[in-house]
Structure 1
């Protein structure tokens, strides 16, 4: 591989999580406030109507707030710079943090996501890079061009990955071709570990998520009825 440099706008996982946690309180306020006002103004309305309205207001409001929050982050604080010295070393810089490691020390590369979002993880024995790039409503911190640059970075690594890594079989992946080079790649010689979800088929994962969602909704309605709708 020849020496190469890649630059793109994105976030790391810690910053993404921090923003998500900051968004929880206003989202809950919008949800509970809308449900309470609906109960006061329209007490005899079928319970699903206020729920749907509250969900829509919460989603739209959260997207607006999230867009505002990410716009406050300066471009230089969203820039990833990755330099590769052939097959020798990789240096990744994000804000004031610099990660430098030998290519042969990479244990795992995980490239997940969908059409508008990329979740890239690069793991060594003692370092972990979690790169987030996206241009959707809930990931408005990059552009389509940034996504293409990240895809080009993985495409550049692919010959090295094919030679030195095994591919982890993900039975739960509904569409493994949804993004270029989708998958989890584990260094040859390393044991590939599978979680319960990895072994499940897509329909089983969907059924599990729906079941959990129904249980949460039942608990939520019971709590709302007990505290607000007496």
Structure 2
């Protein structure tokens, strides 16, 4: 029975969370975060198998891909400006990939993480499907990677802009690239609400980071373990 109401319930909770956020904007009341915790609470209280929920929300999962493609609209509108700054965007994305790899495989081991945990965290700043493929290629835990990707997106969408303002980063292009490199689609969706130019630069950074991560990280990983 729950399979048939899982999708409508998820949408209802999300729209209620958005309404709550519009009344009281707060990083702790991020709509995605509130929806996730509400669903976890419901599944635990009523002892509903996650497999049932997953089947019931398969239609929402299917719509994720065209939703990501929709981010290309602001990118197209700002194409001339992006083309002029493309070299700097690519360099920024390359740096982001190397920083992510370094944190995963050089910093995290210093904190006690083993190679499997490190591999699971390496792709957390790129969009979920690609991050999961990267994790699988690096022998990581795919489910942990998926959870960390969502967490990174929520953090970026919640406190990314305030943090950048605190650091005196005000250029809309720089803000967009920073959010796109660190917080993928969730961060990009949030920044689009604030500034269309930032949203376009975030979209291209999201795409480039995903491509570069998929190409570079497995090569770096195999070089590291040899």
TM-score (norm 2): 0.26
| Between structures 1 and 2, the one with greater helix share | 2
| Between structures 1 and 2, the one with greater strand share | 1
